[in-house]
Amino acid sequence: METHYADTFFRRGAEFLGSRYPIMAGAMTWISDPKLVATVCNEGGFGTLAGGNTPPRILEKQIEETRNMTDRPFGVNVITIAPAYQEHLQLISKMKPPFVIFAGSFPKASEIQLAKEAGARVLCFASTKSIAERMLRYGVDGLILEGMEAGGHVGHVSLMILLQQVLFEFQDIPVFVAGGIASGRMCAHLFLMRAAGVQLGTRFAVAEESCAHPEFKKYFLRAHARSAVSTPQFDSRLPVVAVRALKNRGHEEFNKLQMELIGKLDRGEIKRNEAQHQVENFWMGALRKAVIDGDIERGSLMAGQSVGLVDKIQSVREIIQELVRDTESELVRVRDLFIS
């Protein structure tokens, strides 16, 4: 595949990640397992294991399995608000993965330093300009600029605004862009804006190599962009990182859980950190119901609004090759606009 123009724009992000293409498969709990991550890496992209609330011994095994399946760099995603977070930090020091990606909330400067001392390059999500500035002060090596269009834990600012507030302003550090991305044509324009790379989740969630249940994948293929909605926060005492998922009974049950926990906080029956852990445990369990068991009614169907652009199941190879090919084609089209 001829990628003369795309290679020019791929170079910075690819060199940073150690991959052929700066196309990242976002970490998805219960989905981003060693098989999917290694396949993405072997096909030229960059895969990331989802730490979630995985028991440390299992995450350790997954890191080892991934290393046995690919000789390419990959990331380990850890969620700062997950109950197992501190144990995951200890595991990072032991296993020394090539990349660590912090998600969920804000890691402390000391936690970023811990990962770097383990030899990892560190990426953090930035859903606002102020978060991007803070993470840079803390010493991250790169940013993932994620708009609210994305699936899973998200912020409240659209990618359109973040591109102008962050991508245009921070050119001295690699900035990867995520949220609502599904096509190579869109990727081309993000590269033209000087993005170091792109991250996609929803398209890889329905890849042939994804372990997700067939019913889960079918539901995604039928969904519309407006079907992926984010969860509300009802009380500032229970800070809930918004989660974007396809609306179903599980989504409604989460809202009920919040109200129950707020009632317990009012009555002094529970502490705030315990309430937050119950929130995260809910999502971990609900995700398993959907992804592994195929319970599309009560499970959590985390998806970005790009779900409205996903209409077929493809192999990882087909997804990456299509993204690369369409990126190149769009860059050629833009070039021709200037010389015609």
- Please indicate, yes or no, if residue 217 is contained in any of the structural domains: no
Both tokens assigned to 279: 């929130």
One DSSP character per residue, 195-220 reads -SEEEE-HHHHTSTT--S-HHHHHHH
Query: C-alpha angle with apex 184: 10 to 300, nearest 5 degrees?
Result: 110
| Prediction pTM value | 0.93
186 shares its domain with 245: no
- Point out the residues of the chain with pLDDT beneath 50: none
User: Rounded to an integer, what distance in angstroms lies between the CA atom of residue 69 and that of residue 72?
Assistant: 9
- Please indicate, yes or no, if residue 95 is contained in any of the structural domains: yes
- Please indicate, yes or no, if residue 296 is contained in any of the structural domains: no
User: What local confidence, expressed as pLDDT, does residue 279 receive?
Assistant: 82
276 shares its domain with 313: no
173 shares its domain with 101: yes
CA 187 to chain centre: 16
Q: Give the domain extent around 229.
A: 225-291
User: What local confidence, expressed as pLDDT, does residue 179 receive?
Assistant: 95
User: Rounded to an integer, what distance in angstroms lies between the CA atom of residue 234 and that of residue 336?
Assistant: 51
User: What local confidence, expressed as pLDDT, does residue 16 receive?
Assistant: 98
Contact 265, 235 (CB under 8 A): yes
- Please indicate, yes or no, if residue 244 is contained in any of the structural domains: yes
User: What local confidence, expressed as pLDDT, does residue 252 receive?
Assistant: 86
Q: To the nearest 10°, the Cα dihedral for 269, 273, 277, 280?
A: 120
279 shares its domain with 313: no
- Please indicate, yes or no, if residue 301 is contained in any of the structural domains: no
User: What local confidence, expressed as pLDDT, does residue 48 receive?
Assistant: 98
151 shares its domain with 200: yes
Per the structure, how many domains does the chain have?
A: 2
Express each pLDDT in 150-193 by its tens digit: 998 888 899 999 999 999 999 899 999 999 999 999 999 999 99
- Please indicate, yes or no, if residue 298 is contained in any of the structural domains: no
Return the CATH number at 24.
Answer: 3.20.20.70
49 shares its domain with 185: yes
115 shares its domain with 163: yes
User: What local confidence, expressed as pLDDT, does residue 27 receive?
Assistant: 96
Phi, psi of 78 (to 5 degrees): -120, 140
Neighbouring C-beta atoms of residue 66, cutoff 10 Å: 24
User: Rounded to an integer, what distance in angstroms lies between the CA atom of residue 77 and that of residue 70?
Assistant: 18
- Please indicate, yes or no, if residue 188 is contained in any of the structural domains: yes
Express each pLDDT in 286-326 by its tens digit: 889 999 999 999 999 999 999 999 999 999 999 999 999 99
- Please indicate, yes or no, if residue 103 is contained in any of the structural domains: yes
